[in-house]
């Protein structure tokens, strides 16, 4: 069974990310062009950045890449992600049954095939796609911290069809009707991605795949107290002193 997808919505939350936004938006536009070349019938893309309590030039940066910008003042990853999705759904002009939502983060880089991968999964009738991440080479992650991260992250991996246990808003896809049935991203400071997955309707077709990972920042100067950067900071505290 193939599902028709008439619109793609990509949501990116940002809090004072003017320095990192060009990187993710550039890779998203590259992925959009790759998708158009590989699939001439690819649906239109609505790219939305939620500028959450920004005091820098995040809005101007996003607009320079042609992104729609919604400003929020929640200091909440969940609230910002939800606001970006809501704006995208309101403006894409397609029904929720034929709209696919993909989310990533302002400090990430997506692969050129990321949007094509998302669209292919959507058309293959998956209702939610949970992808994986890889640590960026910059900023440099100390070898001991990277080793601890990899030991935790890849535990249980047996091959390319790894049915992983992870949930990342940085590499997340969901059909809009399924998203709305689950109540959307909750306006919480962290773990909004896990909360959404936990709220999915029974029998939702969920694909956990390592096929198209997103590169994420290895910065340990975290902004979200329970986010990925905080996890790396915790690992840094566990690493041998010689590596600090």
Q: Which residues does 160 contact at the CB level (< 8 Å), separation at least 6?
A: 210, 211
Structure tokens at 161: 């069809």
Task: Give the pLDDT of residue 182.
Answer: 98
Inside any domain, residue 147: no
Inside any domain, residue 226: no
Instruction: Please give the tally of structural domains in the chain.
Output: 1
Sheet with 214-216, side-by-side order of all strands: 108-109, 214-216, 133-135
Q: Which structural domain range is residue 121 located in?
A: 7-135+160-217
Inside any domain, residue 227: no
Inside any domain, residue 199: yes
Q: Which residues does 155 contact at the CB level (< 8 Å), separation at least 6?
A: none
Inside any domain, residue 86: yes
Inside any domain, residue 2: no
CATH number, residue 175: 3.90.550.10
Name the helix (H) or strand (E) containing 231: helix 228-238
Q: How far is CA 50 from CA 47, 105, 118, 210, in A?
A: 10, 10, 21, 27
Mean pLDDT in order along the chain per 10 residues (244 residues): 92 96 98 96 97 97 98 94 98 97 97 98 97 88 85 86 94 98 94 97 96 83 58 58 40
Inside any domain, residue 244: no
Q: Which of 191, 213, 204 is nearest to 128 (CA)?
A: 204
């Amino acid at each position: 069974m193939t599902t028709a997808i008439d619109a793609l919505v990509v949501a990116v939350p940002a809090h004072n990310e003017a320095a990192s936004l060009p990187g993710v938006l550039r890779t998203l536009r590259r992925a959009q062009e790759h998708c158009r070349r590989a699939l001439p019938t690819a649906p239109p893309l609505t790219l939305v950045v939620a500028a959450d309590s920004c005091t820098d030039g995040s809005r101007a940066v996003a607009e320079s890449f042609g992104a729609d910008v919604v400003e929020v003042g929640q200091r909440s990853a969940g609230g910002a992600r939800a606001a970006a999705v809501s704006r995208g759904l309101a403006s894409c002009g397609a029904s929720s049954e034929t709209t696919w939502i993909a989310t990533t983060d302002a400090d990430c880089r997506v692969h050129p095939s990321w949007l094509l991968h998302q669209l292919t999964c959507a058309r293959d009738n998956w209702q939610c796609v949970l992808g994986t991440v890889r640590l960026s080479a910059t900023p440099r992650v100390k070898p001991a911290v990277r080793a601890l991260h990899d030991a935790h992250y890849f535990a249980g991996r047996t091959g390319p069809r790894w049915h992983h246990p992870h949930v990342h808003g940085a590499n997340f896809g969901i059909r809009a009707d399924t998203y709305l049935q689950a109540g959307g991203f909750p306006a919480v400071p962290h773990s909004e991605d896990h909360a959404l997955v936990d709220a999915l309707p029974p029998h939702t077709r969920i694909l956990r795949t390592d096929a198209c990972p997103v590169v994420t920042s290895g910065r340990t100067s975290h902004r979200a107290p329970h986010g990925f950067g905080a996890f790396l900071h915790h690992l840094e505290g566990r690493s041998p002193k010689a590596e600090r």
